[in-house]
Amino acid sequence: MAQDHDRGPRPGREHHHGPALDHGHGPAQGHGHDHTQMDFSQMLPMLVQEAELFTPAYVEAADWLREQRPEPELIVDAGSGPGVISCLLAEKFPGARVVAVDGAEPLLAEARARAERLGLADRFSTVEAELSDGIGDVEYPADLLWASRSLHHVGDQRAALEGFVRSLAPGGTLALLEGGLPTRFLPRDIGVGRPGLQARIDAVHDEWFTRMRSELPGSVEETEDWPALLTAVGLRHTATRTFLLDLPAPLSDEARAFVVTALTHRRNGLAEGLDPEDLATLDRLLDPDDKAGVHHRTDVFVLTAMTVYVGVKPE
């Protein structure tokens, strides 16, 4: 199988990192307006942290996909990031080869190292490619193509989907994870600042996301009706399912650390759009010495929902 993992990130092009903090798109991921300034070595621990914490939901999704496509020979993870889900797919489909595709070589290097640690390297490879150009050079068409929250970082999403379809084998399956619900960590009224903090953060984030989409190279507005979009590019929409991640309070140390990471990136990435009182509340929540902060609170949880849309290429 062809591999392409000798080149570093190329300036002025988009990169795709698979799972993302807090429902998949935002400055928490490091996808700022200047796509040439991302520090992948700094982002990598954050991406791994989230993907590993969210693994129970991805396991459910993979088990469900086994019912949709029982025995694929080749699986492509388009926008794989550090390969946490790529390796999970390799474990869930022991008869398949898996190719992780991403635009950032440092993340692909981590994916290869992870596959090696898990004993999957003999049927795991990587390709460095921008999803706007397709999935790069793989040896034969994919039987299952997984794209988790990577499509929305491509300016022309329909064109990218058309590229995915060209890379599918006849009868091949595309599993697209987009949308779902924002992640929640805190009750509406936390006793600090105005109630409804996370709802206001989400509103500012959605404005940011709209700007981010408009500034992508070749940006095209697209109604986020994912089943209709799958149909428009020639697939038969066969199923939609939403997977819940529910980590109730009291949280494990790992889950609490993720909440700190997620809120820190929201606070830093959306600071210009948040009002001063909400910024002050976030600063208190993130202060490890403040007993009202998330380091100490007993009511912190992680709750989110991720939606997967499945389309099948005609035989």
pLDDT of residue 39: 61
Phi and psi for 79 in degrees, rounded to 5? 90, 50
Tokens representing 247 are 């980590």
Q: How far apart are CA 283 and CA 191, in angstroms?
A: 14
Phi and psi for 303 in degrees, rounded to 5? -140, 125
Q: Indicate the burial class of 39 (C-beta count within 10 angstroms; 0-12, 13-18, 19 or more).
A: exposed
pLDDT of residue 137: 87
pLDDT of residue 12: 32
- Residue ranges, the chain, pLDDT below 50: 1-37
Phi and psi for 282 in degrees, rounded to 5? -60, -40
Q: Which amino acid is at 210?
A: T
Task: For residue 123, give the 3-state DSSP assignment.
Answer: helix
Q: How far apart are CA 91 and CA 273, in angstroms?
A: 42
Contact 230, 175 (CB under 8 A): no
Q: How far apart are CA 291 and CA 298, in angstroms?
A: 10
Q: At what angle do helices 253-269 and 276-286 cross, to 10 degrees?
A: 150
State the virtual CA torsion across 9, 11, 13, 19 in degrees, nearest 10: 40
DSSP designation for 10: P
Helices then strands, counting H and E runs in the chain, come out as: 9, 8
Q: Which amino acid is at 19?
A: P
